[in-house]
Amino acid sequence: MDYKLTPSFGRRKARKLRDQSQRAYTDLLPLVKIDHPKKPFETDFPEVWLEIGFGGGEHMLTQLAQNHSIAMIGCEPFMNGVAKFLTHLSPEDYHRVKIWHEDVRYLLDEIPSPYFQRAFILFPDPWPKQRHHRRRLITKEFMEKLWPTLSEGALLHIASDDASYVEHIQDVLYSYPNLILCEGPPSADPLTWSPHPKGWPETRYEQKALASGKKCAYMIFQKKENLS
């Protein structure tokens, strides 16, 4: 990390952690945090999935419960979210979970390429005000870091409730000819967005967005084989 990025996240810490969360954070984080970004896991797994900005970890916990052979790397700079995830993580899963408690972009610089068979970016901070757009995570520069880490055939799941961000995400991703939109709306117009698709574990941010009457765009892209 010998350079500084514009932060794409809001805060690293909110309220003081309760005793149980503080214990989980202090005792468990050292067991699962990534010490060697060039070799995050000691053993090999058939698939490694990445979740960027996992919040309280609801989605990651559901994926782990439903997919017993995979390993997951979760990236989240927000301490309260990491603590919440760790209080719910089963000891049986410690060996197949790694946490990057930092900005994902520094991990992507280091991790071997390709590494991931799936990546999830669910409700990235929308930064809706024009003057904050430069803080949005999904940009051309970010994709240049993520792209080589995705295996051929890898799936990239993205969801957002912000139409202007969806438009921006689609602009960035459509410029990759080998990245195909397999599921989800091709347009940023919320009128074309469908309800929550089956098989997408809900997240906390999503629940709040839906409860306030917003619509969400759920997209799955696939990295195709390089034919050229």
Ligand X SMILES: C[S@@+](CC[C@H](N)C(=O)[O-])C[C@H]1O[C@@H](n2cnc3c(N)ncnc32)[C@H](O)[C@@H]1O
| One-letter amino acid for residue 45 of the chain | F
Q: Which residue is nearest to ligand X (CB)?
A: 53
Q: Positive or negative CA dihedral for 191, 56, 145, 142?
A: positive
Site for ligand X in 101-120 (CB under 6 A): 103-105
Strand order in the sheet with 97-100: 97-100, 71-75, 48-52, 116-122, 150-160, 217-223, 179-183
Only one of the segments 69-77, 109-117, 164-172, 216-224 lies at the binding site for ligand X (rule: CB under 6 A); that segment is 69-77
Active site residues: 125
8 Å CB contact between 82 and 99: yes
CB nearer to ligand X: pick between 172 and 224 = 172
| One-letter amino acid for residue 63 of the chain | Q
| CB of residue 224 to ligand X, shortest distance in Å | 26
For position 28 contacting ligand X by CB under 6 A, the verdict is: no
β 217-223/150-160 pair status? antiparallel
For position 52 contacting ligand X by CB under 6 A, the verdict is: yes
| CB of residue 39 to ligand X, shortest distance in Å | 20
| CB of residue 197 to ligand X, shortest distance in Å | 15
For position 123 contacting ligand X by CB under 6 A, the verdict is: yes
The 127-146 site mask, x for binding ligand X (CB under 6 A), equals: ----------x---------
| CB of residue 159 to ligand X, shortest distance in Å | 7
| One-letter amino acid for residue 32 of the chain | V
For position 161 contacting ligand X by CB under 6 A, the verdict is: no
Among 203, 216, 218, 223, interactor with ligand X by CB under 6 A: 203
Helices (H), the chain: 19-32, 58-66, 79-88, 104-110, 140-146, 163-174, 204-211
What's the length of the chain? 228
For position 74 contacting ligand X by CB under 6 A, the verdict is: no
E strands, 66-161, are 71-75, 97-100, 116-122, 150-160
- The residues binding ligand X (CB under 6 A) are 8-9, 52-55, 75-78, 81, 103-105, 122-125, 137, 203-206
